Amino acid sequence: MYVLIGLGNPGAKYALNRHNIGFMAVDSIADAYRFPPFKLKFSAMISEGTIGEHRVILCKPMTYMNLSGQSVGELLRFHKIAPDHVYVIHDDLDLETGRIKLKIGGGNGGHNGLKSLDQHIGKEYWRVRLGIGHPGHSSRGEEIVANYVLSNFNRNDESWLKSILRAVCEEADSLFGSHPGEWLTRVSENLRR
């Protein structure tokens, strides 16, 4: 069994925020693969279903971004799932808009959701990094970044956002157990369609 986690913040206020691209991706996957309705368990919205030949738990932590690891830790302990069977979809400021990267382990890049996951489940989980771009640097760097990730996508983002969510969704069945380079090639080809 695999766990596919989308990071974001709960509630309508945050639904279209850049920080919620993980929730958006998981919702798209749930719709495309006809998962049952999400239910609240482990302080997260959970749905279990099948993607390709794989049994998958979709998870959207409801603890807010900074505490995401708490609910994910509970879920993994309950189902006895190893971190290398966990895939986390999240926003990434260090990638250009519309870019995708996949890796296992590594640093958190200052992402509070990843920091929380690292504390609760270790670092050896897969990260599906979706580029949202960076607002730039200034003397108020942290404030600028916080305002940027907690602001909504705008009209200029619609095209690439739709494309990246479609590609991740359509290639979800080849994600699990795949070599990162192979999966990224498939996603890149999908984005060019």
The first and second tokens of residue 34, run together, are 């006809």
The first and second tokens of residue 59, run together, are 């998870």
Catalytic residue status for 19:
yes
Dihedral over Cα of 135, 136, 138, 141: its sign: positive
Contacts of 44 (CB under 8 A, 6+ apart): 59, 60, 61, 62, 63, 71, 72, 75
Q: Which listed residue (19, 85, 90, 120) is catalytic?
A: 19
The first and second tokens of residue 133, run together, are 């771009």
Q: Compute CA distances 26 → 56, 60, 169, 181, whole Å.
A: 11, 8, 8, 22
Indicate the SS3 state at residue 38: coil
Return the closest-CA partner of residue 58 out of 92, 7, 106, 10. Answer: 7
Give me the active site residues, please.
19
